[in-house]
Amino acid sequence: MSTNDNTKNQTTRAVIYARVSSAKQVEEGHGLESQAMRCREYAERKSYTVVETFFDKAISGSLSERPGVMAMLSYLKHHSGSGEIAVIIDDISRLARDTRVHTDLRLAISLAGGKLESPSITFGDDSDSIFVENVLASASQHQRQKNGEQTKNRMRARAMNGYWVFHAPTGYTYKKVAGHGKLLVRDEPLASIVQEALEGYASGRFQTQAEVKRFLETQPEYPCKAANGTVRFEEVLRLLSRPHYAGYIEVPHWCVSLRKGHHEGLIDLQTYETIQRRIKGGVRVFSNQDIGQDFPLRGYAVCADCSGPLTAGWSTSKTGKKHAYYHCFTKGCACRGKSIKRDVIEEQFGTLLGSLRPSAQTAGLFKDLFFKAWDERGSRAEEIAKALRDDLRKTEQQIEQLLDRIVESSTASVIAAYERRIANLEREKLVIIEKLQANAFPKRGSTQQFELAFRFLENPHELWVSDRLDDKRLVLKLTFSDRLAYCRNGGFRTPQTTLPFKALEAVQGGKCKMAETEGFEPSIRVLARITL
């Protein structure tokens, strides 16, 4: 080597570029440092002066998506005027694992006044060097794509075996469990918050998604909130639509149909299906953002003349004093625009609730009848199990028949219709299996288990005088099956009460006789809802 060449090498400047493509490599702290060390050793052998080092941590993609690359190119453009700068990389795969990105970056470095070098490969402009470089770039791309395919296949296989392989849903976290690897487990207190929201929507405690949204916003521990503390409706719908909370998983874009997962569900599959029916059915009740503590009857009270909903608001007198009123604003109604004092209508409502309160004797008799019906229902567990097994067998037969029809059919639209029907039957089958595993009927606990429900039935007005708006609206939902018609001159019309109150009324009125246990099943369900 000539003296001139040695002098040139001694004055050559160099920059180092290192990149790792995964967060794990960044956390372990080995990838970037080892690449930089190897590049420095190469620079020392070549007598280069390293003037700058650039890193990209856990980043891949095009040039514009790599801040380290963009900073390096900017440095080359501003400092290459006094001579070419060597750009040293550990390996060709650290530059890019995509032939197109590799070619673009190679050209960008050259245009910025840099010369690419590496201790692993000699970059040159002759045909052989270019061929080797292209082969190595293609091999790097193939390795990346192959790793992606293998990772996806392993994840899909694990999903097919009943394991969730993506980010843990709200209310769950991953934990290593012997025999399972990483498994979803309850993450308290979020799991209990999500469970209450799901069960509340399924039972009707929250009649709209807006009410679920407001419930989540009142929970300080719930994380999925905007900067102003609100929860987006998209988050509510996502929460209500996840089968994970029923202990099942589904990955449609990988053709992984609904199947039982290995993790513990927050609700059962029947509750989940109830939620999906409510979402698809578009269940709606009056729900405005301005409903507040001031007018708890708004949305439930309607005008007796036109059946239109009574709105409410504040009116300011000339003296500046504010007055609360309910109004009917339905066009053509005789009561349109006429005010009803809030204190008057709510006092009459309190009287209406008081009239529903049964005597102590009636309440005691109702409890006896309820527990007798409950016990009789439980004694029929084997009969119910047999009926469920019959339903399961019929469902499996229907699935087999549809599969035979798919084989015989050659029309794509008909096949698609059969496949949708089979998917629905498979879901019904899972629900039946879950009922069988749960013995079809909950075991009766102690009397204290139902104490809250009976206490409410004996005196709904006690909960109505609560300071919480949610408690007041819960009274309306659990006591009345329809909206309350109100006449300005006559007060509340005869209301339509829910089944437990109708049963109490029948007992109070002397219509007391033994009925078939099936007649009490709705009452049991409503009582169970109250105990939640």
* CB count in 10 Å sphere of residue 386: 12
- Which superfamily does 172-281 belong to? Putative Large Serine Recombinase; Chain B, Domain 2 (3.90.1750.20)
pLDDT over 80 (residue 10): no
What are the backbone dihedrals phi and psi of residue 438, each rounded to the nearest 5 degrees, phi first?
Answer: -90, 10
Contact 224, 217 (CB under 8 A): no
Q: Write out pLDDT tens, residues 160-204.
A: 998 999 999 999 999 998 888 899 999 988 999 999 899 888 877
Confidence band of 440 (pLDDT split at 50, 70, 90): very low
Mean pLDDT of 127-131: 82
Residues 256-299 have pLDDT tens digits of 888 888 999 898 888 888 888 888 876 444 444 444 567 888 87
Measured CA to CA, the distance from residue 197 to residue 211 in angstroms comes to 9
pLDDT at 55: 86
Please list, residue by residue across 109-143, b when 16 or more beta carbons sit within 10 angstroms of its beta carbon and e when fewer do: beebbbbbbbbeeebeeeeeeeeebeebbeebbee
| 185 vs 265: CA distance, rounded Å | 9
Q: Which residues lie closer than 8 Å to 335 by C-beta, 6 or more apart?
A: 303, 305, 306, 328, 488
**Size of the chain in residues:** 532
- What are 375-428's pLDDT values in tens digits? 766 666 677 777 778 888 888 888 888 888 888 787 888 888 887 888 888 878
The closest of 392, 422, 393, 390 to 405, measured between CA atoms, is: 422
Cβ–Cβ under 8 Å, residues 14 and 51:
yes
In the chain, where the domains are located: 3-146, 172-281, 379-443
Question: Is there a shared CATH topology between the 3-146 domain and the 172-281 domain?
Answer: no
Taking CB atoms within 8 Å and a gap of at least 24, the contacts of 129-135 are 133/92, 134/99
Closest Cα to residue 509, out of 359, 352, 348? 359
Other residues' Cβ atoms within 10 Å of the Cβ of residue 480: 19
Non-local CB neighbours of 205 within 8 Å, separated by 6+ positions: 199, 474, 477, 529, 532
- The CATH architecture of the domain made up of 3-146 is 3-Layer(aba) Sandwich (3.40)
Residue 5: what pLDDT?
47
Q: State how far the Cα of 267 lies from the Cα of 245, in Å rounded to an integer.
A: 6
